[in-house]
A and B are shown apart, each in its own frame.
Chain A
């Protein structure tokens, strides 16, 4: 199952995408724990794409492609912004950066997903979550 969507730079539209994906994950039988992880990473990545990438510009779009299987969730999010170098983001866990808002979202995406990678000029991110194997099987 692969789904492609294009949304405006609008956080309300992003929320609707998150809800659609959450419902699909539930239907596929993902655990609450995995769904929380994916939802959080999606929230951070979409907010980044809309606010930092597209700068909330209503003429710019966010392109989303995702697939859900019994084993894994994959998503690619592309914005129309200038991109960035993830290595330039200051370490948000350093004392001097604690009150800065940037970087924490990226840290959470990496913490909650199995794999996170930025591509090209940094306006494309792919994320993967390999599903937790239930103990009962």
Chain B
């Protein structure tokens, strides 16, 4: 392109890159921005964060402006530089909530802002982010204990808490296995709720513990979509009504699938623990 750039003051050009951005450079910056945004969105970041990271990254990499349109399952991103626009769209597939990825992407963006990472370095860093996952047995154990604590908070006795521990742990293992086999999340939640309520229900039938009702309620609390619910409201509070609505609807549908599993188990074993 032309060597003169009247619109870009020299101090806007980041260190480590040659002055000004060619069209090919702008294209690469656009791709890096949209890929960062997609990574954040896929791993459960709220819309404000997605937009602000994409915008700050683009500006730090020397583009004049970045505009982002976030939809529930796609991101459109445009970069504007010296009268040139590059627009690109990416599809979003849900990869499950992973705060490790969100943290890593944001830290890399902060490094670019501070100037300790240039474009090539950022691209390398981004490609090296592998979603960290806790071992499955640890998650199973943690969720079992969590639901047992919920039961205790709701006033269950220790024997009932033990039933809840078993029921939720097994249900969590089922959920992980069904998800790992790439079933639809609704099926995973349905199956998991069925297993949890069946075990808690058999606890009630066999009279283990004197408080079967809080036990049955607590055993399915691992299936409350807490993160999507909170994200839904905070998106809407911050003006992203459409992503908020779709996240909220997803959360309600997942809860309905859970209710289906609970009802099926209660009907099959003829134990009634709710309402």
Q: Answer yes or no: do A and B interact.
A: no
Contact surface of B with A, Cβ cutoff 8 Å: none
